Structure 1
Amino acid sequence: MPGHDATTLEARFIDGMLFEVALHYTYPGRKSSFVRGQFAELKRILAQRHGPLALGAKSRKEPLAGVSSSSIAYQLEPAAGRSLMLVLTEVVDTKRGDRSSRFSVVYHNGGIVEDDTPPVIIRRSGVDSPQKP
């Protein structure tokens, strides 16, 4: 997408109708503090345009082999079944002294989702139709 910092665009369809769009931001080679700053700025802009985003979820996974991860999500539901989510994930590797962050913006239109219809995911690598477990 010209003039946009998103690393990846992901679109999900059901019965040919777009129901979810996700923009993923990774900023390869940039420090985690830079990514957190970009996340905070985008959160501020979205709140200014669409109203305050509520804390949706917060998680921290215990270190496994010196690697821990944490994530925080904010969301806004402008109308029933529709939501705008902003999610930041940070991974810390204490053995290597490395830290990386990424964030995603997800727009979900649940108004067209039916439980019995399988979704189709379109990525740069191809088309996928995930199966329910």
Structure 2
Amino acid sequence: MIFKSFTVFLLSLIFGLAGVSAQAILAPPFGLQWGDSMDKVLGWAEREKLDIVINIKGNEPELRVIRVTSSTGQLPRHKAVALETMYHRGRLFEVTLHYGEKGVKPEKLRVDFDKLKKDLVFKYGRFSPNNKRAEKSDGFVSESVSYHVEPVKGLMLMMLFTEMEDTLRKQKSARFSLLYRNQNILP
């Protein structure tokens, strides 16, 4: 009887921990922490000799957006081509990674997007479809699809894939973004 109780306890513990790992706390990438100041990203970008653009909106002075890119393509030791961080009153609440170098075929980027999504599903749980759009105008066709997951209330991860086609020149391009957001930092 004791062995049976112990087995039930052990199995429930194992399955319980598996659920916890699937619902891991959503931490931002690049070693950032929610609530960090802008100094961390600015210091890293300066040490790596990356390009920095700081945007302060006149109608929302409490918001700051920092965009970091590399003149050579991908960010150091990463596949992303740009990193955007958003701050409310100096505290980090959103991080977006943008993928898609010039010259990369949309089909390859779609494979990369699907692989990353699969990896993130294992870590954070199943993504829900968010939006799907197709637009045509003046010889251009744009298609986008997005998904999101909220592993913990207020912490959201969103993926967006966009493909553009110039029907006149028969050219295609694509990019995708991975957005981490902590709504709990905002008032």
TM-score (normalised: structure 1): 0.82
- Give 5+ residue unaligned stretches, structure 1: 115-133
Higher Rg: 2
Question: What CA distance in whole angstroms lies between the structure 1 residues aligned with 2:140 and 2:156?
Answer: 31
- Distance, in Å, in 1 between the alignment partners of 2:140 and 2:76 is 35
Identity %: 38
Where do 1:84-123 residues align within 5 Å? 84-114=157-187
Gap regions ≥5 residues in structure 2 = 1-74
CA distance in 1, matches of 2:112, 2:102: 13
Q: Which residue of 1 aligns with 2:152?
A: 79
Alpha-carbon offset, residue 99 of structure 1: 0.7
Residue 8 (structure 1) aligned with residue 72 (structure 2): no
The Cα shift of 1:55 comes to 0.7
Shift of 1:16: 1.1
Aligned residue identity for 1:54 = S
Instruction: Give the whole-Å Cα distance in 2 for the aligned partners of 1:2 and 1:27.
Output: 14
Aligned length: 113
Is structure 2 residue 68 aligned with structure 1 residue 68? Answer: no
State the partner residue of 1:119: none
Aligned residue in 1 for 2:107: 33
Tell me how far 1:80 sits from its aligned partner: 1.4
1:27 positional shift: 2.1
State the TM-score, normalized to the length of structure 2.
0.59
Deviations 1:75-130 (A, max 9, x none): 0001111100010011011111011110000001011112xxxxxxxxxxxxxxxx
The structure with more helix, counted as a fraction of residues: 2
